[in-house]
Amino acid sequence: MGDARLDHDMGSEPREDEFTILVTGFGVGSPPNQFPSDLIATSHPALVFRNPATEAPFRAQYPVNPSWEIARGLPAYLPPLRGKDDGDPAADSDLPPVRILVHPEAIRVTYQDVRALAPSFWDGAYGGGGGAQQRRIDACVHIGMASARPRYALERRAHRTGYRTPDVAGEFLEDELPGGQEDERWIWHGLPDELESALDIPNVHRRWKELSSPEVDLRISDDPGRYLCDFIYYSSLATLHKQQRPGKVCFFHVPADASDGAVERGRELALNLIRSIAESEMAEKKRAAQ
CB atoms inside a 10 Å sphere around CB 80: 18
CB atoms inside a 10 Å sphere around CB 210: 10
Rounded Cα distance between 53 and 211, Å, is: 43
Instruction: Return the pLDDT at 133.
Output: 56
Top-confidence residue, 211 or 57? 211
Q: Residue 51 burial by CB count (10 A; 0-12/13-18/19+): exposed, middle or buried?
A: exposed
Instruction: Return the pLDDT at 13.
Output: 59
% residues pLDDT > 70 (the chain): 76
Q: What ranges do the domains of the chain cover?
A: 4-289
Top-confidence residue, 178 or 271? 271
What confidence tens digit (pLDDT) does each residue in 49-72 have?
322 322 234 456 668 999 999 999
Instruction: Return the pLDDT at 184.
Output: 80
Rg of the chain (C-alpha set):
19
Q: In this model, does residue 224 exceed pLDDT 80?
A: yes
- 3 phi, psi to nearest 5 deg: -115, 105
The rounded Cα 246 to chain-centroid distance in angstroms is: 17
Q: Say if residues 196 and 249 touch (Cβ distance below 8 Å).
A: no
- List the CATH code of the domain at 4-289: 3.40.630.20
Mean pLDDT of the chain: 83
Mean pLDDT lowest among 147-161, 210-224, 241-255: 147-161
Q: In this model, does residue 38 exceed pLDDT 60?
A: no
What confidence tens digit (pLDDT) does each residue in 103-113 have?
999 999 999 99
